[in-house]
Amino acid sequence: MRVLFVTTEMDDFVRVGGLGAVSAALPRALRPFADIRIMLPGYRDIIEQLTHIQIVGRCPAFAEMPACSLGRAATKDGLPVYVLLCSQLYDRPGNPYGDESGRDWPDNDIRFARFASAAAELAMGKLDKNWAADLVHANDWQASLVPAYLAWRGAKVPSILTIHNLAYQGLFPRDSLRRIGVPESSFHIDGVEFYDQLSFLKAGLVYASHLTTVSGTYAREITTTEFGCGLEGLLRLRSDASELTGILNGIDESWDPRSCAQLAQQFGAGDWVGKRANADYVRKQFGLAVSRGPMFGIVARLVHQKGIDLVLSAADEIVDAGGQIVVTGSGEPALEQALIDAHRRRPDAIGVVIGFNDAQARRIFAGSDFTLMPSRFEPCGLSQMYAQRFGSLPIGHQTGGLAETITDGETGFLFSRPSRESFLGGVRRAFSAFMAHDQLDTMRRSAMGRSFSWSISAGSYSALYRKLASA
């Protein structure tokens, strides 16, 4: 079965958030089930890393979108990758979505519509003369127009859209319709229109054959007013028609502290001396005081969704109780600055590095006793899975994938509301467990024994692919 996996991030080449990790791991887990090929925009970082790109097709200019070429290459382990080559759209500094100061590119509508239009052409067999898709798997708003372009061109290729985070919708002014060749007739409440704007994500929600999201809990949550971001009515319709499925993400096999090469010292369950060696290393790296108290780690995008403000409001109580906090990530400038200010106030107990480095993140999970995840909502979340495998007990808000992957009181701690008091309730329970050595030992062993294998997710996706392809 031939599957085109359309994404704008892949950890092999470029990563902004969890989508990059999923796009690197899930297609690989699906290889036993399908001829799966990835399609990516030809960002500068990707072109520089691919050693041999063969041009297999060309897309003529369309509406106000420039002509481009389609290249085919492969990852080091042989996974086929298509890249859309158009230097005026993708050869830029910054990240895939914005400039070096974090501002979205003003032509993101053209950048990602061009990408989606080309993906539809590839799926239909019009670009690579040797390959067409039996099914398209599109991811998030940037690829959400793929099912729409397929429908507008009368193609019978079934499609899945995976919603990794409903809060990011790809909204553009009505004038974008003309720029990217979207039929005016689709601009209405049951089409691509969302409060008089063009919504890329809504287009996918309307036109995809099936919708998935990254946990069963989030699949239910997004049909409610609280979490539906204004799209809950449409999502309820799709859910009631059995066209919305939650499939939990996994994590790859490299998240094993017994073999992870980036750690200061490898360790397994019960080897708490090895875990402490990582804690000592992290304290030294972050300039923290020597301590026998618990270390709380945060590895996250520093945005309002992640509840970073709740951590800041509770930081003094954590430190006054003998805890230390280490943070790595990047995001909203105001939250970055607030964390830096907290570090300056308590440099011996609060360590902050703005930016993301995979090896450093792994050492924080390995060295910390607890991982803080007070997210207001969390479609799936990966950090709580990484943390458990590395013996760092997550403290998370009971929402989305956190509710599904943290067993309260056994592998971590859940709290009920995204408020300072509720969050501190979870933190206080963690302090109590830290003092009760037998409980801490039992919980760490339980957490490290969890399996979050991608093979489970891949099996569910494979079954869904076959169902849709045979419909």
Expressed in percent and rounded to 5, the helix, strand and coil fractions of the chain are 40, 20, 40
What are 281's two structure tokens? 């290393």
What are 89's two structure tokens? 């759209």
On whether 15 is known to bind a ligand per the annotation, the reply is yes
| Rounded-to-integer distance, Cα 149 and Cα 59, Å | 14
Those residues with Cβ within 8 angstroms of residue 389's Cβ, 6 or more apart along the chain or in another chain: 251, 255, 256, 257, 365, 447, 448, 450, 452
Helices 308-320, 420-435: inter-axial angle, 10-degree rounding: 40
| Rounded-to-integer distance, Cα 257 and Cα 277, Å | 12
Rg (CA), the chain: 23
372 in Cβ contact with 298 (< 8 Å): yes
| Rounded-to-integer distance, Cα 230 and Cα 217, Å | 18
Residue 25 in 3-state DSSP?
helix
| Rounded-to-integer distance, Cα 8 and Cα 287, Å | 36
- From the list 71, 91, 69, 96, the residue with the least C-alpha distance to 82 is 71
Angstrom CA distances, 15 to 19, 45, 312, stand at 8, 10, 26
E strands within 115-165? 135-139, 159-163
Tell me the residue length of the chain: 471
Residue 24 in 3-state DSSP?
helix
Binding-site residues for ADP-alpha-D-glucose sit at 15
Binding-site residues sit at 15
